[in-house]
């Protein structure tokens, strides 16, 4: 499990963990809780070029359908097949086994710190 205090966050309730020029992206526990029981996850194919702010995936729950937004420009380098096969991982371990995609990037925008994100969601 990633240390959520060292991650970066987006206003769209995604967390980002950066290592070199690759970022692992998932949705926060807050987002997973608001979605309810996740039953389906659709992710882009490896090699897909993504643009910041665009929809790149879908997370469907028993209550609603949520969209996964690209937090920045890049190329998908990996997807979490375990989440596609077992979507409930998004609920049970959103900061660990429930990660969604890995993205190679050249530049990152300014994102929210843990404290800034916590203030937004009231944690």
pLDDT in tens, the chain (123 residues): 578 889 999 999 999 999 989 999 999 999 999 999 999 999 999 999 999 999 999 999 998 999 999 999 999 999 999 999 999 999 999 999 999 999 999 899 999 999 999 999 987
DSSP state of 3: -
| CATH number of the structural domain spanning residue 101 | 2.40.50.100
18 domain-assigned:
yes
Contact (Cβ atoms closer than 8 angstroms) between residue 68 and residue 56 = yes
The total number of structural domains that make up the chain: 1
92 domain-assigned:
yes
What pTM value is reported for the model? Answer: 0.94
Provide the domain limits for residue 96: 8-109
39 domain-assigned:
yes
Phi-psi region of 36 (alpha: psi -120 to 50; beta: other; left: phi over 0): left
Contact (Cβ atoms closer than 8 angstroms) between residue 101 and residue 56 = yes
87 domain-assigned:
yes
Strand order of the β-sheet with 65-69 is 38-42, 55-61, 65-69
Question: Tell me, what's the pLDDT at 1?
Answer: 59
CA distance 28 to 68: 11
116 domain-assigned:
no
A 10 A CB-CB count for 31 gives 19
Question: Tell me, what's the pLDDT at 123?
Answer: 73
CA distance 83 to 28: 14
118 domain-assigned:
no
CA distance 34 to 28: 10
122 domain-assigned:
no
The distance of Cα 61 from the centroid of its chain, to the nearest Å, equals 15
Helices (H), 14-113: 29-35, 81-85, 89-92
119 domain-assigned:
no
């Amino acid at each position: 499990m990633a240390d959520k205090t060292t991650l970066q966050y987006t206003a769209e309730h995604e967390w980002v963990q950066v290592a070199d020029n690759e970022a692992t992206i998932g949705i926060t526990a807050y987002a997973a809780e608001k979605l309810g029981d996740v039953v389906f996850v659709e992710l882009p194919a490896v090699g897909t070029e993504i643009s910041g702010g665009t929809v790149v995936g879908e997370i469907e729950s028993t209550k609603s359908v949520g969209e996964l937004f690209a937090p920045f420009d890049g190329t998908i380098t990996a997807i979490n097949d375990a989440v596609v096969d077992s979507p409930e991982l998004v609920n049970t371990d959103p900061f660990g086994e429930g990660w969604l995609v890995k993205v190679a990037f050249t530049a990152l925008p300014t994102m929210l710190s843990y404290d800034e994100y916590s203030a937004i969601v009231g944690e």
